[in-house]
Amino acid sequence: AVLGFGRMQAELERQAHTDPLTGLANRRAFFATLTEALDHGPAGAVLFLDLDNLKPLNDRHGHEAGDAALQATGALLLGAAGFGGTAARFGGDEFALWLPGAGPAEAIACAEGLIAAAAALPEERAAPRFSIGLACREAGSEERAEPFVARADAALYEAKRVGRGGWRMADAAP
């Protein structure tokens, strides 16, 4: 009974930090990981993604197609996170990626790689298309997790404003 309780508690803990559809970290787990990482003052980049085609995909092909697009995006982000990075689904069609140690060039290469990888997926109903906002943090910066992610989010909305399917880099932290 004790072993069963331990397994159940571990499963509840996993569920509390994981998005059930994609298997990625959820918003809470992402912020916990990012906050802990930033306490050590590293350089790094946050990519904030939003699917451009989820609502039309759901409307045209049903929620199964939308779920498949979300899962495909999760798989792409998990691959991009590599060792040490963190990929998360914030909810709905929003995702975030923390790339510790990445500077602007690496963040841009990652964003362009993700857009190209999504475009290379089979043109089935579930191929995700997304816009990306990037924010970079210099080593030793005092910037906390929330404003860091907010800069990436603002860059995402700029990317959407100028035309979906691309990326924009946020201004440096004040």
Is the CB of residue 77 less than 8 Å from the CB of residue 131?
no
d(CA 127, CA 104): 27
Q: Is 93 a catalytic residue?
A: yes
Is the CB of residue 26 less than 8 Å from the CB of residue 88?
yes
Write down the catalytic residue from 19, 50, 52, 93: 93
Name the residue among 38, 71, 35 with its Cα closest to residue 54: 71
Residue with tokens 């909305």: 157
**Residues forming the active site:** 93
